[in-house]
Homo-oligomer: A and B are copies of this chain.
Amino acid sequence: MTDTFENHSQETLEAHLVQVQTLLAKMRLVEELVHRQGGPRQTLVENLVHKQHLAELHRQIEILHPADIAYILEALPLQERRLVWEMVGAENDGEILLEVSDSVRESLIQTMDKAELLAAAESLDTDEIADIAADLPQDVIQELLTSLDVQKRARLQSALSFPEDSVGALMDYEMVTIRVDVTLEVALRYLRRLGELPDQLDKLFVVDHDKLIGVLPLKRLLTTDPEASVAAVMVEDFVKFHPEDEAHEAAQAFERYDLVMAPVVDAQGRLIGRLTVDAVVDYIRESADSDMLSMAGLKEEEDLFSTVWNAAKNRWMWLAINLCTAFVASRVIGAFEGSIEKLAALAALMPIIAGIGGNSGNQTITLIIRGLALGHITPANAKRLVLKELGVAILNGLVWGSVVGVFAWLLYDNPALGGVMALAMLLNLLVAALAGIFIPMTLERVKRDPAIGSSVLLTFVTDSMGFFIFLGLATLLLL
């Protein structure tokens, strides 16, 4: 791939995007001028300037790597995205659909008819078809299945059957196998006969009948005497995966052992595919992104230029949940309205207690989520973690509690109010530390992703308890 397209640094790529945008803006201008003169759409299409612009746009697009066209499509609003998409040569359609994000892929597929979709899908490998299958209409998939040969159909069906975050969903089938009972010389001749090798291939898979019994790193193949036998040179202790393994554990193994590719085998040790580092890199990036998006309460990846309606739908669930917790916190305050009528300062001070509790608890939660993801937290060390976090909460409670206490005292000239403020801060920080540990650990134990719901639950606890502790103490001690 890298030898047939121009390669671009991010900087030149962004410059390219700006060029395309400028051209599109010019085209919009021409279109508006034609419209204003009252001519029919026909006139626009016949317009010479318009034609020149189209040709220029075409020139700019066709030299780009599919991944770079994908980048440009992501950054364009819907209408212009469609215009550029129509200009892409059909032979690149499949590659580009693979590279864009889910939401942009949806917007592109909407503009394609069945024949175009079939052609695009047929230009891809079976594992790649499986990656975009979720967005393809059911009848296109059916037709694809019937058009593939037996081996490919079986592969596509099995690729479609793996859960999204499994090794099976990330693997591909482009591996090179050699028999264990030959010499390196034979292996070298075999490779030369193949004529072309897959990307990201850093080892051959050594098989005995259909069992995978070793791997032959290319660097060993290249540096060892060709007379040697594969059996003598191959590595027998190698990292392998099963298709049902979790993708994030495989990604950790790739990071730990600096892998470029690894075989995927079934329960009987038969070779069924391979996992490559480029698939792992995409997976790592996508899961980091999706963690970030879901922590902010976005249901799924959102096209920057999606319609208002789609964007709103994507965000409603989270806002609705937060509204419910806010209602509950509001009722906690409501229970103390009598106290607030007597001392309105309480209303002004209470958000400080709740807010700092939330911030502090979020720090704890972030460390715990990370520790859980890396497998650093076990029953044996959980107790120490709790003690440490409570220690930090007490220290912070004494320091920041004093600060806010003095602030309240000076502002309202009321030392007792300052004392209540300080005590409430200390208590709410302790609540925040405990919630920050137990919420993600409980979610993990019940097999939920702790990165997703933890933060909203924590804020719920620190808000409600913060209001309750502060207003409760004030009612008891001050009024």
B239/A255 in contact, CB under 8 A = no
Q: A457 near B: Cβ within 8 Å?
A: no
Q: A62 near B: Cβ within 8 Å?
A: no
Interface-side segment among A125-133, A137-145, A316-324? A316-324
Interface size on A, residues (CB 8 A): 142
Which A residues lie at the B interface, using CB under 8 A? Answer: 1-3, 6-11, 13-14, 17-18, 21-22, 25, 65, 67-68, 71, 74-77, 99, 188, 191-192, 194-197, 199-202, 218-219, 221-225, 235, 237-239, 245-246, 249, 252-260, 277-278, 280-282, 284-285, 288-289, 291-293, 295-298, 302, 304-306, 308-309, 311-312, 315-316, 318-319, 322-323, 326-327, 329-331, 333-334, 337-338, 340-341, 344-352, 354-356, 359-360, 362-363, 365-367, 370-371, 374-378, 380-381, 384-385, 388, 391-392, 395-396, 399-400, 403-404, 407, 411, 463
Complex Cα distance A199/B260, Å? Answer: 9
Given contacts A326-B352, A329-B355, 16 further A-B contacts (CB under 8 A): A10-B375, A25-B380, A99-B256, A192-B223, A200-B202, A289-B370, A296-B363, A305-B384, A308-B388, A316-B396, A319-B396, A323-B352, A323-B400, A337-B344, A340-B347, A351-B354
A457 to chain B, nearest CB (A): 14
A395/B352 in contact, CB under 8 A = no
Complex Cα distance A198/B88, Å? Answer: 40
Complex Cα distance A288/B327, Å? Answer: 34
B345/A344 in contact, CB under 8 A = no
Partner of A391, one of B9, B304, B308, B384: B308
B277/A281 in contact, CB under 8 A = yes
Instruction: Provide the residues of chain B in CB contact with A367, threshold 8 Å.
Output: 293, 298, 302, 304
A29 to chain B, nearest CB (A): 13
A293/B366 in contact, CB under 8 A = yes
Per CB-CB distance, the 4 closest pairs between chain A and chain B, nearest first, are: A347-B347, A308-B391, A288-B288, A296-B366
